């Protein structure tokens, strides 16, 4: 079957390509909703290193998507099943190292074509079925939710068990999702949000408290913290966390920065802190995310507040429209309705 692939050829320029997709051992999914991530924007706008762009493009973007099974040779799924596709593509198994940290793994929209395709061919082991009544616009960004689930799961295995006060730095999408999940996965903890935009902070109504980073209460200290800032905000966020955190606290770093970040190692040593990074997620994290959606229906309800722009993709020119619309947003996700 001839599959149509929409690849980014160079910054701000898409092209159409065709590839034969065999109908055989793998499941074929028709993408329905695609969600744009900042990582996609870094390719689209050409803000990645020129060498990286030259190596990776042309490539189909998007690693956050849901779709409908249109062909299945597997008893696990049948046509018309709604599924979320896991964008991580492991090529080996390791006893100790999670699939999303194996250097041999590929990732959609980074080292392999992403979901901007007419059809996507995938092994049944890399699919997770969606609950019947879930809002597809919310389900579209399950991947980024699974990244938070992954970070919190690892945090639970690493951090000490006094978790009375947990801080989350950042007032963007990742912070919103991580703090929302913390209120469910650690219901006895007080979740404090630290941000720079009062309007955005007002959206975190489920949190115990929100604070402007310029106006943090003097006596406030935290057991543990999550950094969801990234980019040029990373250094100051990590600095503040190290200042506020109590001894032997754990700091989870999720924000992506293109630049090296100086860290106050003296205080890390003095307080005996643990810093750990997380990146992406694996199939188990997707499974856990869907379980959480079913266990706490208010999670997808709250996440629906992140659905910012919806762009109908009916023809080729709409692709550019969606990415340009996404650039202009302040908070929230841009969802593409994949009709093309």
Partner 1 sequence: MTFAVILAGGTGERMGVADTPKQFLEIKGKPILIYTVEKFLLHAEFEKIIVLTPKDWVNHTKHILRKYSAASENIAVIPGGATRNETIMNAIDYIEKEYALDDDTVIVTHDSVRPFVTHRIIEENIAAAKAFGACDTVIPASDTIVESTDADQISSIPLRQNMYQGQTPQSFKAKALRDDYRSLSDKEKAILTDAAKICVIKGRPVKLVQGETYNIKITYPYDLRIARSLLEDTDND
Residues engaged in binding partner 1 (CB under 8 A): 1-2, 4, 7, 9, 15-20, 23-24, 28, 30, 58, 70-71, 73, 79-80, 118-119, 314-315, 339-340
Residue 24 or 187: which CB sits closer to partner 1?
A: 24
Nearest alpha carbon to residue 126 among 265, 236, 239, 281: 281
- The neighbouring-strand residues paired with 7 are 15
Spell 135-159 as b/e; 16+ CB within 10 A means b: ebbbbbbbbbbbbbbbbbbbbeeeb
Tell me the closest approach of the beta carbon of residue 7 to partner 1, in angstroms: 8
CB of 87 to partner 1, least distance (A): 21
Nearest distance from residue 3's CB to partner 1, in Å? 9
Pick 287 or 318: Cβ nearer partner 1: 318
Q: What are phi and psi of 271, to 5 degrees?
A: -90, -5
Q: CB-wise, 92 or 312, nearer to partner 1?
A: 312
> Minimum CB separation from partner 1 for residue 29, in Å?
10
Nearer to partner 1, 104 or 339 (CB): 339
Backbone Cα Rg of the chain: 20
- Shortest distance, position 12 Cβ to partner 1, whole Å: 17
Residue 2 and residue 329: Cα distance in Å, rounded?
35
Residue reference for tokens 């074509």: 113
Q: How many residues does the chain have?
A: 340
Minimal CA–CA distance to 331: which of 228, 185, 183? Answer: 228
Look at residues 176, 237, 230, 167 and name the one whose alpha carbon lies nearest to residue 203.
176
Of residues 66 and 174, the one with the C-beta less far from partner 1: 66
Measured CA to CA, the distance from residue 138 to residue 333 in angstroms comes to: 9
Cβ proximity to partner 1, 7 vs 192, nearer residue: 7
**How near is the Cβ of 22 to partner 1 at its closest, in Å?**
8
The torsion of the CA quartet 27, 31, 37, 39, rounded to 10 degrees, works out to: 50
Q: How far is the CB of 55 from partner 1 (least distance, A)?
A: 14
Based on CB atoms, which residue is closest to partner 1, 92 or 315?
315
């Amino acid at each position: 079957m001839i599959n149509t692939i929409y690849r980014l050829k160079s910054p701000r320029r898409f092209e159409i390509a065709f590839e034969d997709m065999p109908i055989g051992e793998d499941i074929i999914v028709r993408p329905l909703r695609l969600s744009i991530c900042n990582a996609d924007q870094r390719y689209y706008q050409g803000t990645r290193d020129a060498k990286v762009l030259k190596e990776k493009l042309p490539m189909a973007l998007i690693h956050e998507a849901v779709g409908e099974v249109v062909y299945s040779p597997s008893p696990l799924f049948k046509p018309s099943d709604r599924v979320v596709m896991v964008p991580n593509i492991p090529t080996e198994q390791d006893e100790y190292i999670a699939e999303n940290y194996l250097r041999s793994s590929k990732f959609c929209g980074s080292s392999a074509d992403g979901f901007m395709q007419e059809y996507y061919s995938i092994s049944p082991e890399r699919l997770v079925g969606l609950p019947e009544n879930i809002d597809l616009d919310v389900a579209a960004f399950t991947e980024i939710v699974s990244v938070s689930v992954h970070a919190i799961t690892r945090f639970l295995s690493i951090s000490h068990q006094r978790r009375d006060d947990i801080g989350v730095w950042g007032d963007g999408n990742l912070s919103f999702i991580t703090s929302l999940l913390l209120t469910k996965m650690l219901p006895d903890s007080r979740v404090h949000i630290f941000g720079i935009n009062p309007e955005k902070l007002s959206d975190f109504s489920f949190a115990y408290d929100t604070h402007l980073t310029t106006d943090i209460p003097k006596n406030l200290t935290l057991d543990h913290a999550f950094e969801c800032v990234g980019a040029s905000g990373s250094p100051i966020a990590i600095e503040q966390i190290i200042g506020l955190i109590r001894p032997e606290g754990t700091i989870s770093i999720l924000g992506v920065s293109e630049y090296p970040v100086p860290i106050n190692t003296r205080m890390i040593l003095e307080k005996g802190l643990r810093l750990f990074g997380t990146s992406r997620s694996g199939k188990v994290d997707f499974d856990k995310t869907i379980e959480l959606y079913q266990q706490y229906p208010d999670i997808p309800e709250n996440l629906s507040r992140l659905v910012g722009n919806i762009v109908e993709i009916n023809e080729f020119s709409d692709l550019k429209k969606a990415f340009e619309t996404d650039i202009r947003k302040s908070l929230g996700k841009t969802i593409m309705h994949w009709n093309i």
